[in-house]
Amino acid sequence: MKSILISLKLLVRKDRKFYCLIKKITGITPVNAHYYHLAFLHKSLMRKDEQGAPLNNERLEYLGDAVLSAVVAHELFLRFPEKDEGALTKMRSRIVNRHNMNQLALKMGLNQLIRTQPLADMAQTHIPGDALEALIGAIYLDRGYKQTYRFILKKIINKQPNLISFVENDTNFKSLLIEWGQKNKCNIHFVTEEYPSQLANEMIFVAQAFINNKMLGEGEGSSKKEAQQNAACKALSNVSEIRELSLN
């Protein structure tokens, strides 16, 4: 009954479209709208509150990251009693890594709600994943731990069709490329440069992966590590060129 009354009140509000999107995406009826609006406010807008403090989603992201980590750790602990702490840690990191969180955020449609400076392609940034973590923080503050647990279970953990296969799939593309180079006696090296991004006070990294001094992969990222991983991934995908090099 309480939930119905809340829903009725939300329908008469000016931002009912926002509420409807939140409910559609999360399955949760917001009570305190402030948390959810804040969850999608990126720091690039340079907003401040009445006291002059920064008004963005970074604090909620910090909270959501901690709650997400705790929930995933708990669920993996229950599901895999035979795994030791090292394996569980690796499994958790695979689920909550930035690439996976970005992909999940985009599939949820969070890009419809994020407020930031205009971008050519939000999918090429870490903003969607950050917003998803901030949303988790908002749900936690608004509806409590149980509701947040259900959301993470349904929208993140259970979205992996085969959890074992997902967490054990090695996606450290840079390591894979270096191992391939050692096996095939090829020289592997990376060149990474830093450029100003479209967002205020942020930088973007562009990396190139070279095999035997031939550039076979280029990638971008919000960090040097992410850019090199993306470059290595593209280099590994050029199988025919790599094979030709290994024969020379």
CB 245 within 8 A of CB 211: yes
pLDDT mean by block of 10 residues, the chain; 248 residues: 49 70 90 93 82 87 95 94 82 82 91 81 82 97 96 91 66 80 86 80 86 90 86 74 48
Catalytic residue among 65, 75, 142, 226: 65
CB 64 within 8 A of CB 138: yes
Residue 133: active-site member = yes
Residue linked to tokens 């947040």: 148
| pTM confidence score | 0.68
**Which is nearest to 156 in space by CA: 36, 75, 51, 84?**
75
First vs last C-alpha separation in the chain: 73
Residues 139/108/164/76 CA torsion (nearest 10 deg): 0
CB 170 within 8 A of CB 180: no
CB 242 within 8 A of CB 180: yes
Catalytic residue among 130, 133, 142, 226: 133
Which domains, ranges and CATH numbers included, belong to the chain? 14-168 (1.10.1520.10), 173-247 (3.30.160.20)
How confident is the model at residue 246, as a pLDDT? 47
